[in-house]
Structure 1
Amino acid sequence: MPKKREYTDDYPEKTLYLPGPTEVRDDVTDAMAQPMFGHRMDRMTDLYTTIVEDTKEFLGTDNDVIVLTASGTEFWEATTLNLVDEDMLVATCGSFSERQANVAERLGKNVDRLEYEWGEAVKPEDVRAALEESDKTYDAVGTVMNETSTGVRNPIEEIGDLLADYPDTLFIVDAISCLGGDFIDIEEHNIDAIFTSTQKAFAMPPGLAVCAVSDDAYEREANSESASWYGGFQRCIDYYDRKGQTHSTPAIPIMLAYRKQMKHMLDEGHEARDQRHREMAEYTREWANEHFDVFPEEGYESQTVTCVENAQGIDVAATIDAVSEEYDFVFSNGYGSELGEKTFRIGHMGEHDVESIKALTDAIEDVADL
């Protein structure tokens, strides 16, 4: 059992190159330091309607958007409870996609897995075959867009396109570690629920989860006998339509930060933000291939997180500690016991650019004597 370790508030400032949380602008953190106000005041309506409508504009979607005080994990539960009556197909290719399947099972759903080795990507033709060969009509297909544990970016667009042939099967996408840094046309590719967390590519403080919800997803839940209470689509969206607020008490300071950062994101534009993230990803992969190797399957590499295969056999933990101590840069080891020393991960998301990523890779080269 851990003992109390007093928070002393005198820690050295570190630059974060993690798969989240990531760097946050000073004016965004400053936005949180405003006098408190009530979450049923007109000021809250101004704040919440601003962030919801700005998010829809940034994402280029007419779908409803929910911004909920929670981590993205909440929408694993909520989307399953809201949209899955009995049967769900989940494609698993790493720790977080496997966790999506585990959550659905914990909630009492019948889950069929379409399983891949870690590092491999989900193939649309396999999804179609699973749908065709099953004697079930799945309520939903669940897929992680960006598998944070392995650095795989799954072909969500192609999977969504084929699901147009299965109108009774809704499409649930976990985009927690990429939305806002990897462009996707939500309506064009038949995505019924796509969600993220603010501390990733949105480059905001942790504490809020965002979900875009299609009309079909809303109607599915509205016609079901049970759904999530806290993350229920109907409950959240109807309250917003009536009041312009959240149905439960929100984390107001983080929403103030959200408002400020979303204005920055709108100024940059979704396509320009996508291009900047693509350039960071390309640089990081080139560097990794020069000095190590890239872990994910070729052609399916993430645009926001590079998982580097430790082909040189460096001491990953010691290198992370040394880079943190000498340069005040923090990056991540591989995820879990299987990949902890076999890989390491560089988060190139949010407000980073190629020059800031190069500062990290130069530090790694120095410390690891590459």
Structure 2
Amino acid sequence: MTDKREYTGDYQDKTLYLPGPTEVREDVIDAMAEPMFGHRMDRMTDLYTTIVEDTREFLDTDDDVIVLTASGTEFWEATTLNLVEDRLLVPTSGSFSERQANVAERLGKDVDRLTYEWGQAVKPDDVRAQLEETDGGYDVVAMVMNETSTGVRNPVEEIGDVVAEYPDTLFVVDAISCLGGDYVDIDAHGIDAIFTSTQKAFAMPPGLAVCTVSEDAYDREVESESASWYGGFQRCLDYYDRKGQTHSTPAIPLMLAYRTQMKHMLEESHEQRDQRHREMAEYTREWAREHFGLFAEEGYRSQTVTCVENTQGIDVAETIEAVSEEYDMVFSNGYGDIAEDTFRIGHMGEHTVESVKELTDAIEDAAGL
């Protein structure tokens, strides 16, 4: 049994360059301290309809939007239960795509994997070949857009165009570590459900999950006999249409924070936010090329998380600790089997090229580069 470690609150603040959670604006944090109110009051309707419609505007989609008190992981389960009757295809190229497949199997679904080595991207032609060759077809193709473990950004737009040629197959995208920092045209590429967590590129506290739902996805779930109760599209969206609220008690302080941050995001615009993240990614990659290497396949590299290949053989854990202690900055080790062979820098949310440069300067100093 784990021993109790008392939380004291007496900790040094650290600037976060993790693949999430990331830095949060002070006024967004302050918004969580507003007086409490009931989740069935008119004030809640004002709050929830504001964040839902602001999110729809920011993402530039005509699809429905759900904002749910949960981790983004909830929508791994919900999209599988809501949309998959029997069988789905999951391309796997890292830890989180493998986990997405595992979740579907635990839910009793028949999963076909399209498997790649870690660091490689999913290729549209491979998806097309799998769709053409399989007997009986797939209910869903489900994939990770931004593989957080490897720093790979998969070409979901091209893959969505392929899946759209198969009208009985829906397309589900886990964009947990990139949506809000990497623009994707949801409607143009036939994405039936795309979801994220607020603590990543949305730069909000953890605890809320966001999902868009196409008309085809909604209709599929209505016919399902195994739809999720908590994350059911029909249950969430019908209640929103009737009441403008959530069907279950939400985390009201987090939604107040969401309202404040979404106003900032709309003011910046999705396109400008995408450009800022692109510039951070380009700077970080150039720095990594100069001092180390890049783990992700050329041409398929993330805008929000860079996975740096440890070609110098530095002690990653020791360097992370030194940067934390000396500079009050935190970045991340590699993930799983590549923990010491790589490290990861999250350049998402409210960071800029200038703030990322502060971290890379600190890593150079701590590692003696």
The 3-state SS of whatever aligns with 2:141 is strand
Tell me the distance in 2 between the aligned counterparts of 1:61 and 1:165: 21
Tell me the distance in 2 between the aligned counterparts of 1:342 and 1:191: 34
- Is structure 2 residue 340 aligned with structure 1 residue 348? no
Amino acid aligned to 1:24: V
Amino acid aligned to 2:367: A
Give the structure-2-normalised TM-score: 1.00
Tell me the distance in 2 between the aligned counterparts of 1:364 and 1:318: 11
Map Cα deviations across residues 187-228 of structure 1 (whole Å, 9 max, x no partner).
000000000000000000000000000000000001122200
Offset of residue 366 of structure 1: 0.4
Which residue of the partner structure matches residue 176 of structure 2? 176
The 3-state SS of whatever aligns with 1:303 is coil
Tell me the distance in 2 between the aligned counterparts of 1:89 and 1:316: 35
Which residue of the partner structure matches residue 55 of structure 1? 55
Amino acid aligned to 2:360: T
Contact persistence 1:197–1:206 (CA under 8 A): yes
The 3-state SS of whatever aligns with 1:186 is coil
* Superposed counterparts of 1:158-197, under 5 Å: 158-197=158-197
* Superposed counterparts of 1:192-203, under 5 Å: 192-203=192-203
Tell me the distance in 1 between the aligned counterparts of 2:100 and 2:170: 15
- Is structure 2 residue 97 aligned with structure 1 residue 74? no
* Superposed counterparts of 1:238-277, under 5 Å: 238-277=238-277
Offset of residue 136 of structure 1: 2.2
Which residue of the partner structure matches residue 327 of structure 2? 327
Map Cα deviations across residues 93-145 of structure 1 (whole Å, 9 max, x no partner).
00000000000000000000000000000000000000111112100001100
Which residue of the partner structure matches residue 22 of structure 1? 22
Which residue of the partner structure matches residue 313 of structure 1? 313
- Is structure 2 residue 367 aligned with structure 1 residue 368? yes
Amino acid aligned to 2:58: F
Tell me the distance in 2 between the aligned counterparts of 1:172 and 1:150: 20
Tell me the distance in 2 between the aligned counterparts of 1:317 and 1:324: 11
Tell me the distance in 2 between the aligned counterparts of 1:313 and 1:224: 52
CA RMSD after TM alignment: 0.4
Tell me the distance in 2 between the aligned counterparts of 1:333 and 1:185: 32
Tell me the distance in 2 between the aligned counterparts of 1:114 and 1:359: 39
Tell me the distance in 2 between the aligned counterparts of 1:155 and 1:105: 25
Which residue of the partner structure matches residue 118 of structure 2? 118
Tell me the distance in 1 between the aligned counterparts of 2:45 and 2:2: 42
Contact persistence 1:221–1:234 (CA under 8 A): yes
Amino acid aligned to 2:88: M
Map Cα deviations across residues 217-246 of structure 1 (whole Å, 9 max, x no partner).
000001122200000000000000000000
Map Cα deviations across residues 284-310 of structure 1 (whole Å, 9 max, x no partner).
000000000000000000000000000
Contact persistence 1:87–1:136 (CA under 8 A): no
* Superposed counterparts of 1:77-116, under 5 Å: 77-116=77-116
Amino acid aligned to 2:357: K
Which residue of the partner structure matches residue 65 of structure 1? 65
Tell me the distance in 1 between the aligned counterparts of 2:170 and 2:198: 24
Tell me the distance in 1 between the aligned counterparts of 2:366 and 2:140: 47
The 3-state SS of whatever aligns with 1:212 is strand
The 3-state SS of whatever aligns with 1:172 is strand
List gaps (5 residues or longer) in structure 1.
none
Tell me the distance in 2 between the aligned counterparts of 1:264 and 1:362: 29
The 3-state SS of whatever aligns with 2:164 is helix
Tell me the distance in 2 between the aligned counterparts of 1:73 and 1:36: 27
* Superposed counterparts of 1:227-242, under 5 Å: 227-242=227-242
Tell me the distance in 2 between the aligned counterparts of 1:66 and 1:37: 21
Give the structure-1-normalised TM-score: 0.99
Q: Percentage identity across aligned positions? A: 82
Which residue of the partner structure matches residue 208 of structure 1? 208
Contact persistence 1:95–1:149 (CA under 8 A): yes
The 3-state SS of whatever aligns with 1:88 is strand
- Is structure 2 residue 122 aligned with structure 1 residue 129? no
Aligned length: 369
* Superposed counterparts of 1:139-158, under 5 Å: 139-158=139-158
